[in-house]
Amino acid sequence: MRIILPKLTIEWENDDTGEIETLTPEEIQQLYKATYGYNENTKLELINARDRAILTIYYGCGLRRNEGYHLDVSDIDFDRRIVHVRKGKANKERFVPFNKTNSKYLQEYLYDSRPQMTFDKRINAFFISMKGKRMNTRSMALRLKILQQRTHDIYLQDKNVRLHVLRHSIATHLLQNGMPLEKISRFLGHNSLESTQIYTHLITDDEYL
């Protein structure tokens, strides 16, 4: 039996491509589920926990690609359950809330997995590689592609899943669940409602599919 491995090439991500692709809530759940069941060794357990944290920051908190990259440990406040985005677009900072489930994923990574990736307490980067350095966005995108292939969903595998697609997805899901556009705009850190209104068109278009 011949097994053909999928190509895991990573295209350069542009946060403002003009074309918006989103995932369904069910597809997001599949990505989370793909972080489980591969616990043959300690290294994979650490990576799986970090993968869940990546999904949580980019989907659960809707951060931009570079916002997640610049995130530091000190930016996570578990008492108030907020992420302090210090280096947002145009250097605009904001506070992003997260729920109890997301708090669980972030704490599992931060307190259980991350300490085993580096013993240098001077490194404040939230996402770090197995070499103990700040994890770059290309590596995060590769992890996302790996999770995508693990789902064994041919429709999901055919999508161009990028870090920014997770941000588009949470915005669309919040709007579908009835959150006011103004709150979504603040959540995403948009400068105006015009940037957020594109998601209303996505929902309207879906009604005719």
- Among residues 52, 94, 167, 173, the one annotated as catalytic is 167
3-state secondary structure of 195: helix
The CA distance from 187 to 62, in Å, is 8
- Decide if 145 is catalytic: no
- Decide if 164 is catalytic: yes
- Decide if 65 is catalytic: no
* Amino acid identity, position 47: I
Count CB neighbours of 186 within 10 A: 14
- Decide if 89 is catalytic: yes
- Decide if 167 is catalytic: yes
* Amino acid identity, position 54: I
- Among residues 70, 81, 87, 89, the one annotated as catalytic is 89
CA dihedral 76, 107, 133, 85 (to 10 degrees): -20
Contacts of 165 (CB under 8 A, 6+ apart): 21, 22, 23, 159
- Among residues 94, 145, 164, 173, the one annotated as catalytic is 164
- Decide if 69 is catalytic: no
Q: What kind and span of H or E run contains 33?
A: helix 25-33
The CA distance from 3 to 128, in Å, is 32
* Amino acid identity, position 11: E
- Among residues 50, 64, 65, 168, the one annotated as catalytic is 64
Count CB neighbours of 40 within 10 A: 8
- Residues recognised as catalytic: 64, 89, 164, 167, 190, 199
